[in-house]
Amino acid sequence: MIQKLRQNTITAITLLVVGLLSVAAPTMADSLTPFQGETGTIKVSGGTAHIPVMKEAAKRIMTFNPEIRITIAGGGSGVGIKQVGEGLVDIGNSGRKAKDTEIAKYNLKMCKWAIDGVAVVVNPRNQVTSLTSAQLRDIYSGKVRNWQALGGADKPITVFTRDNSSGTRAVFWKKALAKGDITDRAHFVVSNGAMKAAVSQDPYAIGYVSVGYIDSSVTPMALDGVVPTLDNIKAGHYKIARGLYSNTRGEPSGLAKKLLDYLLSPEGQAIVADKGFIPVQ
């Protein structure tokens, strides 16, 4: 009798816990419910740092409701702002805040859904893994051209950078280079993914990428003794950081608003964290 009572008690407790969990924890379907019964297309372009999160969100939404189509293109922050302002896309992503002139011209509304760091990266074969801000500026200005001057191999430094439309470049230039010169010997790449690929293929390269793109193919550099980890970025110790924004022309509405709301939902913020960024909620 006692054993049976114990079994019944355990069963009751188990059912109670399961019931509470089912009430407290929203499912994926709950987060995606606003897309139920909808049809249409959402066009997104702009900052490339945003792409991993946007792609995962789009995949989940389109799996839940195949009547919705979401297209995602890069091009850089400047492109995203210009295209959304001109009505070519519904959402323009940027890795920087829109300028006052851009906001006024296009009546932009910004939605910040993640915090990102911009990390200096080198090839894993490079023995130099730490720089001071002054040394980094000397590299990018062209004053220092050989790794030997920094304690590395007697090899010329291959400098990679982004074009002027890149929000990643804008933050790097302002916060890492203190708005200093970038040598005309620098090689241009078009995206975070292209930057990572270029540095991973050249043992003597240096570049910079969104921390969400870092993997074993590149080595993040400590800058002034601080490694660009998520904890250091969140704590404010690593200073080369920025918000990730999605911009709309006027107040967001329709499917575009539902996508932005989803990115700010618990499920969307979990995607943000899973892709290597810092949630804002």
The pLDDT value recorded for residue 9 is: 39
Q: What percent of the chain has pLDDT over 90?
A: 89
Is 65:100 a contact under the CB 8 Å cutoff? no
21 domain residue, yes or no: no
DSSP assignment letter at 229: -
236 domain residue, yes or no? yes
Rounded to whole angstroms, how far apart are CA atoms 234 and 167?
20
**159 lies in some domain:** yes
Residue 26: is its pLDDT beyond 80? no
The CATH number of whichever domain residue 101 belongs to comes to: 3.40.190.10
* Whether residue 254 is found in the same domain as residue 213: no
The answer on 259 and 234 residing in a single domain is no
Shared domain check, 270 and 197: no
User: pLDDT band at 28, cuts 50/70/90?
Assistant: low
Same domain, 139 and 224: yes
Give the pLDDT band (50/70/90) at residue 11.
Answer: very low
Q: Are residues 249 and 182 in the same domain?
A: no
Q: 208 and 236 share a domain?
A: yes
Asked if residue 123 and residue 109 are part of one domain, the reply reads no
Total number of domains in the chain:
2
Contact 54, 207 (CB under 8 A): no
Write the single-letter amino acid at 264. L
255 inside domain: yes
- Report how far Cα 88 is from the mean position of its chain's Cα atoms: 23
Please tell me whether residues 56 and 100 are part of one structural domain.
yes
Q: Which of the four pLDDT bands, split at 50, 70 and 90, describes residue 29?
A: low
Domain match, 63 and 164 both: no
Q: Identify the three-state secondary structure at position 110.
A: strand
* Co-location of 132 and 218 in the same domain: yes
Mean pLDDT of the chain: 91
Residue type for position 86? E
Residues 220 and 211: their CA atoms lie apart, in Å, by 9
- Decide if 76 contacts 46 (C-beta within 8 A): yes
Q: Based on the domain organization, do 184 and 221 belong to the same domain?
A: yes
Helix residue ranges per DSSP H, the chain: 2-24, 28-32, 51-64, 77-85, 100-106, 133-141, 167-171, 192-201, 230-234, 254-264, 266-274
Two tokens at 123?
């090839």
Q: Which element (helix H / strand E) includes 158?
A: strand 158-162
The per-residue pLDDT for range 72-88, each reduced to its tens digit, is 999 999 999 999 999 99
Q: Is residue 252 part of a domain?
A: yes
pLDDT category, 30, cuts 50, 70, 90? confident
Whether the CB-CB separation of 254 and 91 falls below 8 Å is answered with no
Residue 9 lies in a domain: no
Domain that holds residue 53: 33-115+243-279
The answer, yes or no, to whether residue 5 has pLDDT greater than 80, is: no
Please tell me whether residues 45 and 141 are part of one structural domain: no
Is 90 inside a domain boundary? yes
Dihedral (Cα; 52, 164, 131, 203), 10-degree rounding: 70
Residue 261 predicted with pLDDT over 90: yes
Residue 97 resides in a domain:
yes
